Amino acid sequence: MIEVGHFIGGKRVAGTSGRTADIMQPMDGSVRGKVALASREELRKAVENAKEAQIGWAATNPQRRVRVLMKFLDLVQNEYDELAEMLAREHGKTIPDAKGDIQRGLEVIEVCIGAPHLLKGEYTDGAGPGIDVYSLRQPLGVVAGITPFNFPAMIPLWKIGPAIAAGNSFILKPSERDPSVPMRIAELFIEAGLPAGVLNVVNGDKDVVDGILDDPDIKAVGFVGSTPIAQYIYSRATANGKRAQCFGGAKNHMIIMPDADMDQTVDALIGAGYGSAGERCMAISVAVPVGEETANRLVEKLIPRVEALKIGSSLDASADFGPVVTADALSRIKTYVDGGVKEGAKLVVDGRDFKMQGYENGYYMAGCLFDHVTPDMKIYKEEIFGPVLSVVRAKTYEDAIRLPNEHEYGNGVSIFTRDGDAARDFAARVQVGMVGVNVPIPVPIAYYTFGGWKASGFGDLNQHGPDAFRFYTKTKTVTSRWPSGIKDGAEFVIPTMN
Ligand code: NAD
């Protein structure tokens, strides 16, 4: 049994609140250990450490700051396998997929190595007589991140990297379901030379989240998780005068045009729909074939592929996907599937009764495929977050593009076609933040920004890429006049360029 406390002032500390939660191992349903749930006093301790450490860290020149990030990248390489196994055990995803989770986080750290350049301001020489104007990007101070269970390495790293590279100190509140990897990440940063207190981890639930939202010393909050919580965090954080960026749930469509290469499309759908048991915010959960003939060809090819998916334990590297995260999640997903059947969708592959031999207490189900789903159904409107793909048949391209455009969520979307005109029109008109053309999971590479539209994202700036540096810094503009001592007399009219 493991015991996970908090990471405050550069070291692991035991929880003192007396409240804990079980850390489960989804592959066999066993209790792996306990995680402490922080009290407001423990949060305060972390904030005080962070506040003090931030002064020296902000004064450290940016090139020295990023050397810590470089060293961190090296240290992770030495224990990639151990981290991936730890992640797989607590999340449920397979080890190769867990390695991808870590890698996509490291790619953002790699981009943060460019912080000295990314933090440069602007300069205008001679904006007026003897007048120069320049701008600075300064850190905010203490900032916080609240992250979801489904990417316990990637999403914390997306936030920690730019925040600390910009000279802030950071309080991470990871998901209480899989806290071990974020704790180890914090430890590795200290081993890499990060001063104690610059990165702290407080584990916990709503109580500590509310503490973060109300703490006057925390200047910004980055959140990733489900939409109702994203909305709640955005309103409470901004009402308290904080900067906030909050990313929520998703319902990602893939439009399949009649000219699409059907084998390529099916390969893409299988990976994007069922990889990680569908527990990705960029998973494709709705396939929209255009025209009856396209739909028939698609469904005919999809059925045997969904039936052949290999479900395995998190430690089975040959499995296509493993268990879902909790017993509650399993029952919620099955309830959605039951509801879809009741609403009249055609369940052409039913994975509800799958049992994993030797792991009967694990949280497994096989892939489900629905055909003839319509936009009024709950399985279409809501995020299921499981291995369930819905086919919504569209008569025309215009009917197809209307679906993602009118959907509440707007995280990712994709079109499969050989027609450049259609692809270009789609990319221009679709009301979704991240678009793939013959790419099923269009998670932008680390030097572009990541963020959904509509109910998938609240706040003005995206994650990673240049936006992350804007989010974690404030701009100061300096107008200076030299030499001093020029005497123009008092001026009562606002200065202009005339
Ligand atoms: P969640 O909203 O349940 O939890 C996210 C975080 O919020 C956790 O740290 C949790 O402890 C905290 N939290 C939960 N309930 C809270 C409450 N009532 N008050 C305050 N804090 C609370 O999300 P999850 O189940 O961990 O993650 C899955 C969700 O995250 C899915 O909806 C998925 O689409 C979304 N997600 C979105 C993105 C994105 O970039 N848009 C990325 C990954 C996951």
Residue partners of 36: CB distance under 8 A and separation at least 6: 3, 4, 5, 6, 14, 15, 16, 17, 19, 20, 203, 204
Which pair of structure tokens corresponds to residue 267?
A: 């390969």
Start-end of H helices in 79-114: 80-91, 95-112
pLDDT band at 469 (very low <50, low <70, confident <90, very high): very high
pLDDT band at 484 (very low <50, low <70, confident <90, very high): confident
Mean pLDDT, rounded, for 150-174? 98
| Ramachandran region, residue 382 (left: φ > 0; alpha: ψ -120 to 50; beta: rest) | beta
Give yes or no for a contact between 87 and 153, defined as CB atoms under 8 angstroms apart: yes
Mean pLDDT, rounded, for 238-253? 98
**Model confidence pLDDT, tens digit, residues 330-346:** 999 999 999 999 999 99
What is the number of other CB atoms lying within 10 angstroms of the CB of residue 490?
Answer: 4
Residue 14 has pLDDT above 90, yes or no: yes
| Sheet of strand 388-391, all strands in order from the earlier edge strand to the far edge | 346-349, 368-371, 388-391, 284-289, 252-256, 412-416, 434-437
Residue 497 has pLDDT above 90, yes or no: no
Task: Give percent above pLDDT 70 in the chain.
Answer: 100
Give me the residue label for tokens 């939660």. 21
pLDDT band at 252 (very low <50, low <70, confident <90, very high): very high
Specify the residue with its C-alpha closest to ligand 1, atom 24: 148
Mean pLDDT, rounded, for 438-459? 97
0.95 exceeded by pTM: yes
Rounded distance, CA 426 to CA 288, Å? 14
Rg (CA), the chain: 25
Homologous superfamily in CATH for domain 252-437:
Aldehyde Dehydrogenase; Chain A, domain 2 (3.40.309.10)
Give yes or no for a contact between 180 and 23, defined as CB atoms under 8 angstroms apart: yes
Note the pLDDT of residue 313: 98
C-alpha closest to that of 108 among 474, 488, 447, 343:
447
**Model confidence pLDDT, tens digit, residues 99-113:** 999 999 999 999 999
Equal fold, 2-248 vs 252-437: no
Catalytic positions:
281
Which pair of structure tokens corresponds to residue 259?
A: 């000219």
What is residue 370's three-state secondary structure? strand
Mean pLDDT, rounded, for 8-27? 98
pLDDT band at 312 (very low <50, low <70, confident <90, very high): very high
Substitution candidate for ligand 1 out of 226, 279, 284, 326 with most atoms within 8 A of CB: 226
Q: Which of these ranges, 84-98, 185-199, 483-497, has the smallest mean pLDDT?
A: 483-497
Note the pLDDT of residue 495: 85
Rounded distance, CA 233 to CA 457, Å? 12
Give yes or no for a contact between 392 and 401, defined as CB atoms under 8 angstroms apart: no
Note the pLDDT of residue 30: 98
pLDDT band at 486 (very low <50, low <70, confident <90, very high): confident
Distance 226 CA to ligand 1 centre (A): 4
Give me the residue label for tokens 């879809």. 340
**Model confidence pLDDT, tens digit, residues 256-310:** 999 999 999 999 999 999 999 999 999 999 999 999 999 999 999 999 999 999 9
Task: Give percent above pLDDT 90 in the chain.
Answer: 97
Residue 498 has pLDDT above 90, yes or no: no
Residue partners of 208: CB distance under 8 A and separation at least 6: 37, 38, 39, 40, 42, 43, 173, 202
Give yes or no for a contact between 314 and 92, defined as CB atoms under 8 angstroms apart: yes
Distance 224 CA to ligand 1 centre (A): 6
Note the pLDDT of residue 78: 96
Residues having CB closer than 6 A to ligand 1 are 146-151, 173, 175-176, 205-206, 209, 224-226, 229, 247-250, 281, 383, 385, 411, 452, 456
| Second-level CATH architecture of 2-248 | 3-Layer(aba) Sandwich (3.40)
Residue 428 has pLDDT above 90, yes or no: yes
Distance 107 CA to ligand 1 centre (A): 22
Phi/psi at 333 (5° precision): -65, -45
Give me the residue label for tokens 């990680």. 276
Specify the residue with its C-alpha closest to ligand 1, atom 35: 225
**Model confidence pLDDT, tens digit, residues 184-204:** 999 999 999 999 999 999 999
Note the pLDDT of residue 487: 80
Distance 148 CA to ligand 1 centre (A): 4
Maximum alpha-carbon separation in the chain: 88
Residue 488 has pLDDT above 90, yes or no: no
Note the pLDDT of residue 466: 95
Distance 325 CA to ligand 1 centre (A): 13
Nearest atom, ligand 1, residue 249 CA: 34
Note the pLDDT of residue 485: 80
Residue 483 has pLDDT above 90, yes or no: no
CA 415 to chain centre: 22
Helix (H) or strand (E) holding 230: helix 227-239
What is residue 286's three-state secondary structure? strand
Q: Mean pLDDT of all residues in the chain? A: 97
Mean pLDDT, rounded, for 225-254? 98
Q: Domain locations in the chain?
A: 2-248, 252-437
Whether omega before 62 lies within 30 degrees of 0, making that bond cis, reads: no
Specify the residue with its C-alpha closest to ligand 1, atom 10: 175
What is residue 218's three-state secondary structure? strand
Substitution candidate for ligand 1 out of 150, 207, 285, 461 with most atoms within 8 A of CB: 150
For residue 475, give the amino acid letter.
Answer: T
